[in-house]
Amino acid sequence: MNKKGMLIVLGFIIIVTAGFAAAGGIVESSQNAKPSFTGEYNVASDGRIAYVMESDGRQTLYVKGQGAESHEVYTAEESKMLWSPVFNENGDFSVVETTGYPEAPSGKQEFQLEHSDVHTISAEGGDVETVLQARGVITNLVKDPARKRWIINGIHLSTQGEPEEGFIPYASGLYTLKPNGDFEEIQSFETYSPSSLSIAENGKRMLMVLPDDYENATPDSMFESVERIYEMNIEKPEEMKIISNKDSEVPISEVVWMEDQNKLLYQTIMNYGEDGLYEYDMVSYDRASGEEGDRLRINDSVQHAKLTSDNTLLYYVKEVSEANQSESYELFRYHLESGEEEKVELSP
């Protein structure tokens, strides 16, 4: 091939490559522009669903009624995220708006330099009241069903003074927050942050998942620790106790409370200790007998499990891997009576 022919072929390759790159950019841009569910949601006693969608880097809280209709409630500031929406007694909403986790690698993250607010928003999305402004990262907001207050879970939270720059050893805490802004610590935790919070109907007790070395974690103990379910008296947090099987070596990652039946539903690993991929599922647990019951046959790992007040529906989120190696989220509900699982369609 002569020099001119080589230049023509080279030019053709460059044009085709650029075309593919441009097409890929268009696809990626289109995917970014398409509203996607972030995995943050909550379910009201009347069946309404509050959920967060993201489009073009902006997150918006929507509410879906029992029918197919949905309406926009609140849009976060650019580069901020909406976490843990909750329904309040009078029909309005509360939600966390946060800058989120620091982008630095583990061991260099300065959580105290982030910001998190708690907003209460009218049912139609018109009026917004900021109940709390704090430094740090609020990871979870849970409504106390018996009192006009919320329980907050956060990392390096503070409403006082200026933050100290530089890495600070990891610490989290549970707090109460009242509508008038009163903000009080319940309990602090070093090394870990509790997850999967559930509050009793009388507002006096709370369930959570924590590793069993949370009181005295060391580099060695962290490799051997097991995530278990703890119950805490909110007024006497020092009386925390394990309520899952103390002898089991299988970790637990999600829990919901069937309080009136003295039972739990929790997610665990069905083939723990065996070779191959872990097989996750939700199983029942009888607190009186201390025995694990039947598995639900979801046969998948789930997040943000929530049980309706009548103990008939279990909601949860599944993480889905896309063709472009990104992750997306889908919401499901599981009918405990029939064992039927259905996907909940969410849209703006």
User: pLDDT tens-digit profile of 190-207?
Assistant: 999 999 999 999 999 999
Q: Which amino acid is at 334?
A: Y
CA distance 329 to 178: 31
Identify the band that residue 14 occupies on the pLDDT scale cut at 50, 70 and 90: very low
pLDDT at 22: 46
Is a pLDDT exceeding 50 seen at residue 3? no
Considering the chain, what percentage of its residues have pLDDT values greater than 90?
A: 79
The closest alpha carbon to 263, from 237, 235, 244, belongs to 244
Identify the band that residue 23 occupies on the pLDDT scale cut at 50, 70 and 90: very low
pLDDT at 123: 82
Is a pLDDT exceeding 50 seen at residue 5? no
CA distance 222 to 213: 7
Enter the tokens of residue 323. 């063709």
The closest alpha carbon to 131, from 147, 113, 150, belongs to 150
Is a pLDDT exceeding 50 seen at residue 29? no
pLDDT at 310: 92
Is a pLDDT exceeding 50 seen at residue 328? yes
**Residue labelled with tokens 């097991």:** 226
| 135 C-beta neighbours (distance < 10 Å), count | 19
Q: Is 317 exposed, middle or buried (0-12, 13-18, 19+ CB in 10 A)?
A: buried
pLDDT at 13: 42
**Residue labelled with tokens 């972030």:** 38
Per-chain mean pLDDT for the chain: 90
3-state SS record for 116-156? EEEEEECCCCCCEEEEEEEEEEEEEEEECCCCCCEEEEEEE
Q: What angle do CA 203, 115, 127 make, to 5 degrees?
A: 65
N-to-C CA span, the chain: 57
Digit-coded pLDDT (tens) for 144-153: 999 999 999 9
Q: Which amino acid is at 39?
A: G
Q: What is the mean pLDDT of residues 162-170?
A: 92
Least confident of 10-19, 44-53, 324-333: 10-19
| 131 C-beta neighbours (distance < 10 Å), count | 17
Do residues 154 and 132 touch, judged by C-beta distance below 8 A? no
Is a pLDDT exceeding 90 seen at residue 111? yes
pLDDT at 103: 93
Is a pLDDT exceeding 60 seen at residue 8? no
